[in-house]
A and B are shown apart, each in its own frame.
Chain A
């Protein structure tokens, strides 16, 4: 039970029960932020959150709670897509940046080829320039393996701010996102560092 003079944690307040000394929620849901637990409870349910926390070592529970709060907020803001909308948007950004990078790299190659003294006459080099550029762009686009195949849906103006957790959603097919997830995990192992600093 909470000590004399100390108020119950936000979860025990919401659940209207005694806040035990070893309450699993108390370290992460202080009484001055009732909204935090309310939203997690609404989406996941107190018993599910309790089970999830119990299965984790103590030093990982704070991060787990923060990620659950983030996901719950995302789901409340966007009841259809939740966090998946943000993932789709970011995936599209990655694809666009990779394409821009490929174009820039192709430009460098073109310029380097123009600088090569072994090329033919200056006039002929200029004529080749556009063809080479188009060919290199085509080859580079074909070689971009990380691009999603579902960029069709991402034509809306999506505003996304990680810090405030505000975003609109746009949803590529879940199977493509799950494929992307597997690709990313193979190519770039997930760094288990704190996200909240």
Chain B
């Protein structure tokens, strides 16, 4: 038995086996991380998801799951989809602003070349 249980096994009040699937990603010093992910996805679903992934991608999968879980806790209606919407709005605004500015550049360049021609 692992003398120091991972955060997941502590939370689930069970033994932490040597090959615990959660142990590498949920250290005992950060209980909130597992609590958040468990609240949204459930330990069973997270375990299944991790088992279906190769070892080298599991850490990033856990991080992205934690991020999405935190977004969902912060915004129970839209979760991280709200962020996507916000970014799309920012992109639209930036595209409009860029088009407007590029039009201004074109006008300014025309004026400049007219000024330069009249100088000659």
A residues sitting closer than 8 Å to B (CB atoms) are: 42-45, 47-48, 52, 55-56, 60, 63-64, 67-68, 70-71, 75, 79-87, 90-91, 93-94, 97-98, 100-101, 104-105, 107-108, 111-112, 114-115, 122, 162, 171, 174, 177-178, 181, 184, 188, 190-192, 195
Contacts and interface: CB of A to CB of B under 8 A. Distances in A.
Contacts of A42: 45
A48 B41 contact: yes
A79 B53 contact: yes
Main secondary structure on B side of the interface with A: helix
Contacts of B21: none
A195 to B, nearest CB: 5
A86 B91 CA distance: 13
B2 interface: no
B35 interface: no
Contact of B77 (A44, A60, A91, A97): A60
A174 B63 contact: yes
Nearest to A94: B90
Query: Closest 4 interchain pairs by CB?
Result: A97-B94, A90-B87, A67-B81, A84-B64
A83 B101 CA distance: 32
Contacts of A82: 64-65, 68
B45 A45 contact: yes
Given A84-B68, A87-B87, A107-B105, A63 B111 contact: no
Given A87-B83, A94-B94, A190-B86, A111 B108 contact: yes
Interface residues of B, number: 53
Contact of A70 (B75, B81, B112, B115): B81
Which of A60, A104, A115 neighbours the largest number of chain B CB atoms within 10 Å of its CB? Answer: A104
A197 to B, nearest CB: 12
B76 A101 contact: no
B80 A87 contact: yes
Nearest to A85: B64
Contacts of A174: 63-64, 66-67
Contacts of B66: 174
B85 interface: yes
B41 A45 contact: yes
Contact of A48 (B42, B71, B81, B104): B42
A74 to B, nearest CB: 9
